[in-house]
Amino acid sequence: MHGFAYKNGSLFCENVDLQTLAETHGTPLYVYSANTILDHFRRLDQALAGIDHEVAYAVKANSNLSVLRLLAKENAGFDIVSGGELYRVIKAGGDPAHCTFAGVGKTRAEIEYALQQGIYSFNVESEAELRYIDQVAGDLGVVAPVAVRVNPNVDAKTHKYISTGKSENKFGVDFGFIEEVYDRASKELKNVKLRGLQMHIGSQLTSVDPFVEAVKKVAPLATSLKEKHGIEFWSIGGGIGIVYRESLESGAQDWWDKKADAERPLTIEEYGASIMPLIKDLGLNILLEPGRYIVGNAGVLLTHCLYEKKGTAKTFKIVDAGMNDLIRPALYEGHHEIVPLKEPNAERLKVDVVGPICESGDFFCQDRELPDFQPGETVALMSAGAYGFVMASNYNTRPLPAEILVDGSTATVVRKRQTLDDLLVGEL
Ligand SMILES: *Cc1c(COP(=O)(O)O)cnc(C)c1O
């Protein structure tokens, strides 16, 4: 479900006409629906109601301060992967005591900063890192709360670039070694407190089965670590997938209701119902680290069609957004629905929608049947709220797009479009 739909022939975000936003603020333009973000957060929170739990939003999916502020007001936790993200969370009013710090390559400066701010836990990805955190905490005269990330070696059945829970991935400590790591740490490391256990098997999982498999496999380990080392939390990670292929249609409850059970994409209710029985009696605080699920379908990227080029083999629609604005198609063959802001008729044409960047990988679709749109018209790339703006770059010396947050009938610019002067800041 999300807040994007046609009303009287025009695409709206909540009660705001996207065409008006494009005309007022220019394109490319990211637009987010505040109430979609809140709805997703609350539903996930609700799915675990009745047990000790925390939904720790994965900041890297969309780290705009206003998005973080929305979630901080809901008392969300935050899963961060850098000192920069911790800085953002604090600026947005988030509580460091509800932050977990993930990532395979934390630096000394980042570890010190996180210790000074009093985060809830470092989610540690190797024994070497664990020993380093112990040393830094010792130097500062504090105790570092830690959890080790277990790599459960289950197949998340997602794109290879976003699969993280197999032994060949760089993430976490092998399932077979993990208890020894806790045992050695408890004997040898005096400046860490073994506070929890963490896992995260991958992103954009569209079936509940790999989650269930991983939770079943790791639950006995969590119990054993609780008995032996007194751990208090288990983070079962993020990775809940969203609808990309029928993104616009999936905004309506109707679309979900009409699907047969076997065809319905993973819902949060199904996720909760499948996972809850496996975790509810462990006596552990259960953390979730969703990123994409919270913000993915809550955002679109608006782009203006500049030209049409008809070749012998193909028709190209050339738009003013490029892979520097939204890299998912180029990076992981990500699919984004492309819909005109003016509600189209049923006619479809096979086209490539491409950006202005000097790379052949700079396309948003190839040979896709789309409703026709012409130069001068604006289209929306759907499901662009997660891993969209945060991965944007200045490649080809292009300013970063502006970001708008819509709440009901109010649209607020939550990040200004970069100017050409912004692009030169700090250069000689
Ligand atoms: C990226 C990441 C997440 C969030 O993944 P989503 O697929 O966006 O839910 C959660 N935990 C860790 C450790 C991550 O690296």
pTM of the model: 0.96
Residues with CB under 6 A from ligand 1: 58, 60-61, 79, 102, 200, 203, 237-240, 289-293, 386
Burial class of residue 257, CB neighbours in 10 A (0-12, 13-18, 19+):
exposed
Per-residue model confidence (pLDDT) at position 169: 75
* Spatial CA neighbour of 22 closest among 365, 377, 325, 308: 377
User: What span, in angstroms and rounded, lies between the C-alpha atoms of 278 and 160?
Assistant: 27
Per-residue model confidence (pLDDT) at position 157: 75
What is the pLDDT averaged over residues 246-262?
93
What is the tens place of the pLDDT at every residue in 310-360? Answer: 989 999 999 999 999 999 999 989 999 999 999 999 999 999 999 999 998
* Residue to mutate (ligand 1; options 54, 271, 289; most atoms within 8 A of CB): 289
> How far does the centroid of ligand 1 lie from the alpha carbon of residue 289, in Å?
6
DSSP state of 176: G
Per-residue model confidence (pLDDT) at position 80: 98
Per-residue model confidence (pLDDT) at position 210: 94
Atom of ligand 1 nearest to the CA of 203: 7
What is the pLDDT averaged over residues 82-94?
98
> How far does the centroid of ligand 1 lie from the alpha carbon of residue 121, in Å?
16
Q: What is the Cβ-side half-sphere exposure of residue 242, based on CA atoms within 13 angstroms? A: 31
Give the pLDDT band of residue 160 (cuts 50, 70, 90): confident
> How far does the centroid of ligand 1 lie from the alpha carbon of residue 202, in Å?
7
> How far does the centroid of ligand 1 lie from the alpha carbon of residue 184, in Å?
28
289 labeled part of a ligand binding site = yes
129 labeled part of a ligand binding site = no
DSSP state of 340: E
**Percent of the chain with pLDDT strictly greater than 70:** 99
pLDDT at 159 over 90: no
* Residue to mutate (ligand 1; options 44, 120, 203; most atoms within 8 A of CB): 203
Burial class of residue 358, CB neighbours in 10 A (0-12, 13-18, 19+):
exposed
What is the tens place of the pLDDT at every residue in 163-196? Answer: 777 777 778 899 999 999 999 999 999 999 999 9
> Cα 135 from chain centroid?
32
Is residue 365 part of the annotated active site? The answer reads: no
What is the pLDDT averaged over residues 257-272?
91
Give the pLDDT band of residue 427 (cuts 50, 70, 90): very high
User: What span, in angstroms and rounded, lies between the C-alpha atoms of 3 and 36?
Assistant: 6
Atom of ligand 1 nearest to the CA of 296: 8
Q: Which of 13, 99, 358, 365 is catalytic?
A: 358
pLDDT at 17 over 80: yes
Per-residue model confidence (pLDDT) at position 231: 98
* Spatial CA neighbour of 251 closest among 74, 92, 35, 19: 35
What is the tens place of the pLDDT at every residue in 210-234? Answer: 999 999 999 999 999 999 999 999 9
Per-residue model confidence (pLDDT) at position 156: 76
What is the pLDDT averaged over residues 18-36?
98
- Structural domains for the chain: 4-30+297-424 (2.40.37.10), 34-292 (3.20.20.10)
Atom of ligand 1 nearest to the CA of 386: 8
- Mean pLDDT, all residues of the chain: 96
